[in-house]
Structure 1
Amino acid sequence: MDYRALLAAIAVPRLTGTAANQQIREVLKRELATRGLVVMEHRFTGRSLLHRLGRAPLEGVNLIAVRPRARVSVWLAAHYDSKGQPLSMATRLVAAALAILGALELFALVVRALLGPLRVGAPDVLAGAAGVTGVLLLAANRVTDRSAGAVDNATGVVAVLATLDALPPDAPVGVLFPDAEEYGLLGARALVRERANLLGDTCLVNFDGLDDRGFTIAFVHRTGPTVARVAAALGARRARWLPVLVDGLVLSAAAREGVTIMRGDWGTAKIVHTPRDSAERLTLEAVRRVAASVAAALFPG
């Protein structure tokens, strides 16, 4: 399978609700059908402050794929939408930290004023200015359709398909390709709200951002034997909390076990959601290794 060609085909700006998003969805439906899966569309609507400040509903389409007459014990998931923003993920994390610093400074000033005469010094002014800067940066960070979303999350989609290809054709796995992750996990929330029965007593393996560089992280949402095998096979750093929102957080709430597999470093965060997140900078070696390791861990022997 030419995964590089597949990456190039789907790593295009594909914000939820756009024509490109629909075109990529059709590509994914064909890829899944070629692998013998029955594909269903799950249409939903939701509201997000990132979409017209929540004043208008957003329509999206999740893809659910299963093997005929098979009971799914493991779901492989990856969101297929993308978004651009003026600030990279790294810059947004810094801005959020500054905003939190400003909030803490404001709280401290209030406490000090209640306890006695308030004297404001240079550190207070600097902390307050940092907080205002962080808030202004976050407020100006609107959603655009100017990122091809190669790492985030065309690599995750390719990893799902590569994992399928590494498994026996009768393996009891299904595929979830949620939409509108970039608008606040709307697709995953709709799946849990309307199709939670699909996830009951299953293990969820979600892929979200697999860069060539950096290290592999197993963001564990609900631990269990399958998740433990996957994390061990990947040699991944395990985390129970990260300052990111991923579909695995929502989907795992309805599953028996759940984990999100990620790979990268601070350099990755500096390109996510920017025009620099393109297919040209990726070799997919990490995606191939991750997919092979996950497949071997899911059904050992």
Structure 2
Amino acid sequence: MIYSPRFADTVAHNSSTLTALPNFKAPLLNMSSDSAPSKYKYGDKPGWRHVVEAVEALGGSASRKQVDDYLKELFPHYRDNTAVNLYACSVNSNARTNWPFNKRPRRSDDEENPHHEYDRLFKHGVGKKATFELYQSALHGVWEIYCNDKKKWATRCVAEAVEQDEAHQLQIKFDAAVKAAAGLTSEERRLRLAESEKYPRTNVVTTKVFVRSEYVVAEVLHRAQGKCEKCRRDAPFPRASDGTPYLEVHHITPLARGGEDTIENAVAVCPNCHRQAHFG
């Protein structure tokens, strides 16, 4: 069955609640990843996976039309089920609750939930101008599906994203784009590279900088005596400026999350351990 809903332009959005579509009955789409491949309309996977992978391939953010165009190149017989699948997989869309698998309480950070795989996108804007980007709790907060006072299923934000400056937000989006690029084949990446700009774009951003205590840094480095306080190895090299062992001072509880700028909340670590503390 081909279904082409035109409900995308009628969903109202704000930061915490959305207005569900009245009297809308979800079509019987094949959303299960357990179905036999022969039942799939397009390739060897359900439509929602194709839609999410299209957003990934398009750099982690795309409009409905961009996803449509991308999938029509892959599948000449593709028909517009795009909006249905975009909304079903968007954590902040009330329209997603029209599907049975989204009519149960669920938080977007519950990775053990069998339906967590559908929590893949985040919607910005409404109507034809809406864009859908890969969902990240650090950037978009934690969302849940719940039954409201009117006995209707809806979505709401239950944990705001940690406040990030513009530079950090750009880094999060870039990391997601790199992950999406890694999912392509080498041939696909080379084709995209051939069309890419050879020089990077520049962005002017506003960032917040903590004015740290020089006494904390000096005392923590003195305490370490040239050895990483995590792996206990010697500093990897001496500083060119003064010959002192090169170690970096890391805050155990980040300052951005309310951590204190004290020697008790700081350790001297080698560059490898410092990166691991942030990304490991």
TM-score (ref. length: structure 2) = 0.25
TM-score of the superposed pair, with normalisation by structure 1: 0.23
Larger proportion of helix? 1
Relative contact order: is structure 1 or structure 2 higher (C-alpha 8 Å, sep ≥ 6)? 1
The structure with the greater share of residues assigned to strand is 1
Bigger radius of gyration among the two = 2
